[in-house]
Chain A
Amino acid sequence: MLNKINQYKNYLTVVTGALIVLSFFLGQAVWKDAFLIAATVIAGIPIFIKAFQALRMKSFSIELLVTIAVIGALIIGEYVESAVVTFLFLFGGYLEARTLAKTRSSLKKLMELAPQEATVIRDGRQAAVPVEEVEAGDRVIIRSGGKVPVDGKIAAGEASFIEAAITGESKPSFKGEQSSVFSGTILDSGYVEVIAEKVGDDTTFAKIIELVEEAQESKSKTEKFLDRFAQFYTPGVVVLALLVYVITVNLHLAITFLVVACPGALVIGAPVSNVAGIGNGARKGVLIKGGEAVESLAGIDTLVFDKTGTLTKGKPEVTEIKTFLQYSGEELLTLSAQAETISEHHLGKAIVREAENTGLPRAEKVQGEIIKGKGIKAQVNGKEIILGNRSLLQTAGIPVTDAAEAHAEKQERAGNTAIFAVINSEIAGIISIADQIRKEAPEALAALRENGIRRIIMLTGDNRHSAVLVAEQLKIEEVHAELLPQDKVKFIHELQAQGHKVAMAGDGINDAPAIAAADIGLAMGEGGTEISMETADVVLMADKLMQLSHAYSLAKATSRNMKQNTYFAVGTVVILLTGVLMGGIHLASGMFIHEASVLLVILNAMRLIKFAEKKQKKHPQLLPEPA
């Protein structure tokens, strides 16, 4: 019964509105009053029920205040007021629910990406099952346009995936056998069979949703203050209303005071800003963990970066291949990569990766040996290959030509590691490898400076030489190299002691202590590893530094929005209360202004959903982008 009434609340609102309008066309006072009383009772029932339910739980609700006010208005014969107030209360509630749903829409959109069904192979047959029934180890089939229902590894096939749900990146990324795929991503084109590793609530996507949900609940300092404020405010208003009655002996005025003073906009203003802001970030691949993180991120003035993995890609890559003999760069890379397949060294792996990325053929079986700290020797297609540093060449008795030495030195000065490639006892080429700076790093740092970060500092455990090289390219003035994790923590504590608000951005694991020590910790999510998602206050899901700049301006906008809402709400209450006491505002008009103010703060927060950083001016591109 009670639920029924609740369900038909919207119809009751419409009926009430119609009755009030009709009553104005009735001449006879008796009929007019009858219509208005009917309207009051109809709209009053759901309000009264809510008030009663709350009272039973010994909690004090706005519905209770309205119920008291309406009964009071009925007693003193103000039927227009009682009808309009109940109507406005229901109608306002309806509009609030509608607009609130909009501010929450970001998360909802994210959740809609959650897959419902999966096609699995069971007993040699394909079967469509609800996603809850998929178990780890199942072989799942995904076709073009299908949603990936589990986290797992591709066992067969290849395809491009849109991973926006996980990384915020809208460009499809291509994946082949043995690559990991994530639940919530969409297969753009291709066909794959995936062995499920994580299902249901254990998937990265489910964890992200849970984190965002929790982030939206966790309260900022302003919100906590407002909550405490409301706790004292509501009973305070009741006492004040009593005082007003005792002093003026005017029941009508006291009741009006009671209703108008309800802290609606005050209570909802700050949370809606946060929800909209955090939702906006989540959709763009920035996880901000809660209102408190938003506020501290907005307040920072110093940004500390770790170098490896944060400003640079953290993965060495082949930057150049120089050849001296008859072999082409491609031939040299093919042979080197085939030889390096026996290597476990990260530089060797970089060469193998480069060959794979360019689609060069793999070797069947390679014979060779690893010389620790120097390089490798191997036989490929009947050729004797040596790959390594100068000391390996020396022990192998291979002379370094002047041209090779000059080139190696030049590459090393530019921050590369030079690897000599020897084919049949002659230096055939030099492969340069470096941990490259992220392509978007200069632009992202410029945007951050423009948005008000005054000081950018780079800390690294790496040697001074390569640290300075990276800093110069990124125009970072302050660099501290050769630091241990505890040194980084000490450095951040020193900055804080000087009164700075410090953010620390790192790649999650080795920087964890510094990330924890900073006022706000930022982590590169790298497709969402659990450790980094848990340690930091802000996670950049796609490892894109531009997201950091978006996160910072978003946090600032959100905290600004929250302040606007709070000031507006407090201002409205002050004006309303003064108006009531001066006699300029009556119950119905007060209710109207009150409801309108609640809607306004929600509408203000809605602007954050669409918040996008001002587009950077594109620098004219002189050179065509390499294909």
Chain B
Amino acid sequence: MKKAVYQLEALTCPSCIQKIEKSLRKTKGVDTVKVLFHSSKVRVQFEEEAIEAEEIESNISRLGYPVLSTKVS
């Protein structure tokens, strides 16, 4: 189990939270997703055997939210 934090561009609409959380939750290997609206971050816990941090990053980008930086721990 690994944890990744993605810093996005400033989020402005609260509906973005649902959009990102819903879609990531359906992604295989992703365990928990939390979007921090005010700090514009996405916190993800995932199984490193099933998915890589970069893959999640590209998923978020494809939703329309460019990722500025990533921190995996």
> What is the interface of chain A, defined by CB distance below 8 A to chain B?
2-3, 6-7, 49-50, 53-54, 57-62, 93, 96-97, 100-101, 104, 107, 201, 213-214, 216-217, 227, 267-268, 271, 275
Task: Judge whether B64 and A49 touch: CB under 8 Å.
Answer: yes
Q: Which residues of A contact B41 (CB under 8 A)?
A: 213
Task: Judge whether A96 and B19 touch: CB under 8 Å.
Answer: no
Task: Judge whether A3 and B36 touch: CB under 8 Å.
Answer: no
> What is the bound-complex CA distance between A3 and B18, given in angstroms?
20
Task: Judge whether A213 and B19 touch: CB under 8 Å.
Answer: no
Q: Contacts A57-B23, A201-B73 hold; do A107 and B39 have CB atoms under 8 A apart? A: yes
User: Which one, B15, B22, B36, B61, contacts A58 given CB within 8 A?
Assistant: B22
User: Which one, B12, B36, B39, contacts A96 given CB within 8 A?
Assistant: B12
Task: Judge whether A59 and B14 touch: CB under 8 Å.
Answer: no
Q: Which residues of B contact A54 (CB under 8 A)?
A: 15, 19
Given A267-B13, A267-B15, A271-B37, list of 6 further CB < 8 A pairs? A7-B66, A53-B19, A57-B19, A216-B38, A216-B39, A267-B14
> How far in angstroms is the closest Cβ of chain A from B4?
13
Task: Judge whether A2 and B38 touch: CB under 8 Å.
Answer: no
> What is the bound-complex CA distance between A126 and B60, given in angstroms?
41
Closest 6 CB pairs of A and B: A216-B38, A53-B64, A57-B23, A213-B39, A275-B38, A97-B12
Task: Judge whether B36 and A213 touch: CB under 8 Å.
Answer: yes
Q: Contacts A2-B64, A271-B38 hold; do A100 and B14 have CB atoms under 8 A apart? A: no
Q: Which residues of B contact A96 (CB under 8 A)?
A: 12
> Closest A-chain residue to B64, C-beta based?
A53
Q: Contacts A213-B39, A217-B37, A275-B38 hold; do A53 and B63 have CB atoms under 8 A apart? A: yes
The 0/1 profile, CB within 8 Å of A marked 1, for residues 1-17 of chain B is 00000000010111100
Task: Judge whether A6 and B64 touch: CB under 8 Å.
Answer: yes
Q: Contacts A96-B12, A100-B12 hold; do A59 and B36 have CB atoms under 8 A apart? A: no
Which residues of chain B from 28 to 73 have any CB-CB distance to chain A below 8 Å in the complex? 34, 36-39, 41, 61-64, 66, 73
> What is the bound-complex CA distance between A271 and B14, given in angstroms?
9
> What is the bound-complex CA distance between A50 and B13, given in angstroms?
12
What total of chain B residues lie within 8 Å of the partner, measured CB to CB?
21
Task: Judge whether B10 and A62 touch: CB under 8 Å.
Answer: no
> What is the bound-complex CA distance between A407 and B62, given in angstroms?
80
Task: Judge whether B38 and A213 touch: CB under 8 Å.
Answer: yes
Q: Contacts A59-B15, A213-B39 hold; do A3 and B22 have CB atoms under 8 A apart? A: no
Q: Contacts A107-B38, A217-B36 hold; do A100 and B19 have CB atoms under 8 A apart? A: no
Q: Which residues of A contact B61 (CB under 8 A)?
A: 3
Task: Judge whether B14 and A217 touch: CB under 8 Å.
Answer: no
> What is the bound-complex CA distance between A113 and B62, given in angstroms?
32
> What is the bound-complex CA distance between A93 and B9, given in angstroms?
14
> How far in angstroms is the closest Cβ of chain B from A198?
15
> What is the bound-complex CA distance between A107 and B40, given in angstroms?
12
User: Which one, A7, A60, A101, A268, contacts B10 given CB within 8 A?
Assistant: A101
Q: Which residues of B contact A275 (CB under 8 A)?
A: 38
Most buried by A among B10, B22, B34, B39: B39
> Closest B-chain residue to A92, C-beta based?
B12
> What is the bound-complex CA distance between A567 and B19, given in angstroms?
28
Q: Which residues of B contact A268 (CB under 8 A)?
A: 13-14
> What is the bound-complex CA distance between A201 and B3, given in angstroms?
12
> What is the bound-complex CA distance between A62 and B64, given in angstroms?
15
Q: Which residues of A contact B37 (CB under 8 A)?
A: 217, 271
Q: Which residues of A contact B73 (CB under 8 A)?
A: 201
> What is the bound-complex CA distance between A565 and B56, given in angstroms?
36
> What is the bound-complex CA distance between A58 and B41, given in angstroms?
22
Q: Please, could you name 13 A-B residue pairs with CB atoms under 8 Å apart, sorted by A?
A: A2-B62, A3-B64, A3-B66, A6-B66, A57-B23, A57-B63, A97-B10, A201-B73, A213-B38, A216-B36, A217-B37, A268-B13, A271-B37
> What is the bound-complex CA distance between A289 and B61, given in angstroms?
31
User: Which one, B15, B34, B38, contacts A62 given CB within 8 A?
Assistant: B15
Most buried by A among B12, B14, B73: B12
> What is the bound-complex CA distance between A344 and B37, given in angstroms?
51
Q: Which residues of B contact A271 (CB under 8 A)?
A: 14, 37-38
> How far in angstroms is the closest Cβ of chain B from A56?
8
Task: Judge whether A59 and B64 touch: CB under 8 Å.
Answer: no
> Closest B-chain residue to A234, C-beta based?
B15
> What is the bound-complex CA distance between A477 and B10, given in angstroms?
51
> How far in angstroms is the closest Cβ of chain A from B25?
11
User: Which one, A3, A104, A267, contacts B38 given CB within 8 A?
Assistant: A104
> How far in angstroms is the closest Cβ of chain B from A133?
14
Task: Judge whether A59 and B22 touch: CB under 8 Å.
Answer: yes
> Closest A-chain residue to B34, C-beta based?
A217
Q: Which residues of B contact A53 (CB under 8 A)?
A: 19, 63-64
> How far in angstroms is the closest Cβ of chain A from B52?
20
Q: Which residues of A contact B64 (CB under 8 A)?
A: 2-3, 6, 49-50, 53
